[in-house]
Amino acid sequence: MKRVNFRLRPPNDGENMAARSSEMMADTSFNEYVASRFEDEKMSLIATAHATDEELRALGLSKRGDLIRLLRFCVEKVQESENKEKLNEKKDLLEKILEKNKSKRRFETFSSLPHNRSRRKAPEGSGTKKVQLGWLHYSDRRKRYVAVRQIKGGDTRDTSLSIDATADSIIEAGKELFFPGGISSFGSIDMMEFTLANYKEDTISNVVVRGSVLPFTLQRYLNATKLPRARLYLASKQKQCESEEDGDHSLLQPMLDLTNIRRHHPEEDTTFPESPMVDQDQASDEGKDVILLSSVTSLKANRDLVAEQDKDYQYSLLADQKKEEERREKLLSEIGYAEQQEQLRQARLHRVPDVPKGGSIVLIQVRHVTLGVIKRNFSSNDKMWSVYDWVGSLSLLPPYFELSDFRGQVLRPEQSVMEGEKSTLNMSASECTPSLDDEEIDFKGFGTTEVNNEDTLALLDLLPPVSSAPLVEQVQDLIP
């Protein structure tokens, strides 16, 4: 059969796809009847690619090979056409992007020229600018300014400011934002000193423009930093109190120095009216050693306050020492309890018989409360106390326990291990391990849970001794 070559074009190019199909059929070994049928039915490439075998047979294609070759050819041509369309779309989109970028570069090059740069700048004094305004507060502990979080009334706020705004006007705007009503989480506005800081948290008051230092304005700051959006901070710091440096000495200084008044104004009458709070004889003695009653009262109040604080400190120290003693006693109690458990485990371990090598062997399985299912071989002549000792020697907890069978019946230590061979024994914690039949003799770990203090290990000697003197007597000398 002659191979047919198709030249695929988009369906909307105006050509009759059915006619092209008929021409293809005419160039092949297909007879004229099949070609006319394709032309009559308007079978284009797309229609032929989607046609079923029955539909093609109805058009006159009876051979299986002709059907497969024709369908394969049509499908490939349709896919090739679709790929070309997608490629053309991508090329068109890429050309548009390149053209747009080229136009943008031309505009930026034109705008960067010296004769056009000045045209883009907005003249000073016109419009407003969006600014991010935050709050920094000076930390005496860190010795630097620290950003104030939103929970304390800080965070960064978006506000509109005039581009001619000065540092003082921006500080006033920050006070209105972060000090509503003149109050903040760090104190009153009257107790603070304010400056303006930049995004580096450095205080600013001037701007360097072309080598010249000029007063700060928002427009000059934006032109100097080239930032698209300014971020400024209101920096606050608590004012220093003079009394913190002078101490009690400032309280003893006279509020009125009569000597200086007479020296600079000898012609004026420096006689002061009588006051019930000041001795007139003392005030007239050249103004020396003048101490007002209010200063003395303030000094006494400060001393009383210091004494009260020292007393509170001593009580707090006493409470801390008492807590430390209680913690130590609790630790000693826990260490003693752990030593008792280890002694009990060692005693059980020494009583565990060896694993039998031969003879009559019994396999014991126990479901441990912490270790899961454990297994071990015992001799048929062993008693259940050997199983109790083996289970208790594997861990410290629980120190006392019981072993029971599947019926819940507790196995006694004097019973034979043959009683526990039939099922997996269950371990359950109890106040004491079952005792032996002998009322006068009991191995350690069986029966009573009372502890013999003479068997305690000497681990407590490793800790420093606890003072036997009461804590009240230890701090009694420290309290004034």
What dihedral do alpha carbons 49, 55, 59, 61 form, nearest 10°? 70
**Model pLDDT, residue 466:** 40
In tens, the pLDDT along 365-410 reads: 999 999 999 999 999 889 998 999 999 999 888 888 999 988 888 9
Burial of 286 per CB tally in 10 Å (0-12, 13-18, 19+): exposed
**Model pLDDT, residue 194:** 93
**Model pLDDT, residue 114:** 53
Q: What is the 3-state secondary structure (H, E, C) of 91-113?
A: HHHHHHHHHHHHHHHHHHHHHCC
231 within 8 A of 199, measured Cβ to Cβ: yes
Same domain, 212 and 141: yes
In tens, the pLDDT along 3-20 reads: 334 333 444 443 444 445
**Model pLDDT, residue 450:** 54
Compute the radius of gyration of the chain from its Cα atoms. Answer: 51
**Model pLDDT, residue 269:** 46
Omega before 413 cis (within 30°)? no
**Model pLDDT, residue 312:** 92
Do the domain assignments include residue 402?
yes
Burial of 335 per CB tally in 10 Å (0-12, 13-18, 19+): middle
Confidence of residue 363 (pLDDT cuts 50, 70, 90): very high
Phi, psi of 212 (to 5 degrees): -110, 140
In tens, the pLDDT along 317-357 reads: 999 999 999 999 999 999 998 998 899 899 999 999 999 98
Residues 46-50, mean pLDDT to the nearest whole number? 81
158: helix, coil or strand? strand
Residue 389: which of 358, 431, 433 has the closest Cα?
Answer: 433
pLDDT of residue 121 exceeding 80, the answer is no
**Residue 408 belongs to a domain with what CATH number?**
3.10.20.90
Same domain, 82 and 158: no
In tens, the pLDDT along 220-235 reads: 888 888 887 888 999 9
Do the domain assignments include residue 309?
no
**Model pLDDT, residue 272:** 42
**Model pLDDT, residue 5:** 40
Q: End of a domain among 238, 272, 302?
A: 238
pLDDT of residue 283 exceeding 90, the answer is no
Q: Per the structure block, which two tokens stand in for 110?
A: 């034109």
**Model pLDDT, residue 437:** 67
pLDDT of residue 202 exceeding 80, the answer is yes
pLDDT of residue 416 exceeding 60, the answer is yes
Strand (E) or helix (H) holding 271: none
Same domain, 65 and 138: no
Stretch among 194-208, 249-263, 339-353, 397-411 having the lowest mean pLDDT: 249-263
pLDDT of residue 462 exceeding 50, the answer is no
pTM of the prediction?
A: 0.31
394 within 8 A of 374, measured Cβ to Cβ: yes
Separation CA 223–CA 212 (nearest Å):
13
Number of domains in the chain: 3
Separation CA 144–CA 322 (nearest Å):
39
Q: How many helices (H) and strands (E) does the chain have?
A: 14, 13
Residue 231: which of 139, 146, 161 has the closest Cα?
Answer: 161
Same domain, 363 and 419: yes
**Model pLDDT, residue 155:** 85
Same domain, 94 and 134: no
Q: Per the structure block, which two tokens stand in for 66?
A: 């002709």
Same domain, 147 and 54: no
Phi, psi of 426 (to 5 degrees): -105, 135
Confidence of residue 33 (pLDDT cuts 50, 70, 90): confident
**Model pLDDT, residue 387:** 92
* Mean pLDDT, rounded, of the chain: 75
Sign, CA dihedral 209-215-220-221, equals positive
Phi, psi of 399 (to 5 degrees): -70, -30
Structural domain boundaries enclosing 37:
28-100
**Model pLDDT, residue 209:** 81
**Residue 45 belongs to a domain with what CATH number?**
1.10.150
426: helix, coil or strand? strand
**Model pLDDT, residue 20:** 53
Confidence of residue 110 (pLDDT cuts 50, 70, 90): low
Do the domain assignments include residue 450?
no
**Model pLDDT, residue 364:** 92
306: helix, coil or strand? helix
**Model pLDDT, residue 267:** 47
In tens, the pLDDT along 78-96 reads: 888 889 999 999 999 999 9
**Residue 198 belongs to a domain with what CATH number?**
3.10.20
Q: End of a domain among 174, 208, 238?
A: 238
Residue 405: which of 443, 466, 364, 454 has the closest Cα?
Answer: 364
State the amino acid at position 29 in one-letter form. S
Stretch among 112-116, 132-136, 219-223, 365-369 having the lowest mean pLDDT: 112-116
Confidence of residue 25 (pLDDT cuts 50, 70, 90): low
Do the domain assignments include residue 105?
no
**Model pLDDT, residue 327:** 93
**Model pLDDT, residue 129:** 86
Q: Per the structure block, which two tokens stand in for 264?
A: 């600079």
Burial of 304 per CB tally in 10 Å (0-12, 13-18, 19+): exposed
**Model pLDDT, residue 319:** 93
Residues 468-477, mean pLDDT to the nearest whole number? 43
Do the domain assignments include residue 160?
yes
**Model pLDDT, residue 463:** 39
State the amino acid at position 129 in one-letter form. K
Q: Identify the residue whose tokens are 């960064």.
A: 156
Same domain, 93 and 170: no
pLDDT of residue 452 exceeding 70, the answer is no
